[in-house]
Structure 1
């Protein structure tokens, strides 16, 4: 069985055999690592590409540059990426730059973490969390589905 994985560098969609996910696969187009153990900053267009073309669940941090708790959580979110990839793709959406995405998903407070699976939001958590709390919450949310 294969999964579609969007490259965090060139946005190409790659088909990767499921058993190779943990082996550090590279992009067929740009030849860079498909998983870099760090969140990917996305615009609205890139978010749509990941939402519609990426088979791994997405863990999205909706944040803003003026938000103190968002800044405090950023290193923890990066640490969580190292633990959750390749089972999750971690994205960051700047709600100041992408106000339409924030409105579309009804983001009322930031930071807000949301998990998307097969194009649909399945879980949401508002407020800053530490790395282990993020990892545990994400894994529990996925196991509950």
Structure 2
């Protein structure tokens, strides 16, 4: 396992090299460019294709993405659960949200046919997918079970 991990800042998209031991520590790592927290317990909105690709390809942590839409009832119901899961899974998993209405190219490119859909990426590649609303515990179990394999 690498001693240093690259993490893309959720605020300014700068790539930061963080010692892996600091991910589990009490002192939260901050971005070298904008000085904001790299992990704040909230999912990152990735509604532009370039930004989506940057976070997937340059962040060395697994990235769990919620594909949703504002008009979707189950998506709105799952939103606070996904938010709570971010607080639980960070800093070992980056959580992100993609509004399929604003990022239609991203959703189409990944073959999103129903929402909400969760996709877990590692190293920029999809390793697991699940459609349907879940609670916080289900989201965490989905991520943890698929990261063990």
TM-score (norm 1): 0.97
Asked if 1:3 corresponds to 2:30, the answer is no
Give the structure 2 partner of residue 34 of structure 1.
38
**Cα drift, residue 22 of structure 1:** 2.0
**Cα drift, residue 16 of structure 1:** 0.3
Q: Secondary structure at the match of 1:62?
A: strand
TM-score (norm 2): 0.95
Asked if 1:52 corresponds to 2:57, the answer is yes
In structure 1, distance between residues paired with 2:9 and 2:124? 17
Please, which runs of 5 or more residues in structure 2 have no aligned partner?
none
Q: Secondary structure at the match of 1:101?
A: helix
**Cα drift, residue 21 of structure 1:** 1.1
Give the structure 1 partner of residue 109 of structure 2.
104
Please, which runs of 5 or more residues in structure 1 have no aligned partner?
none
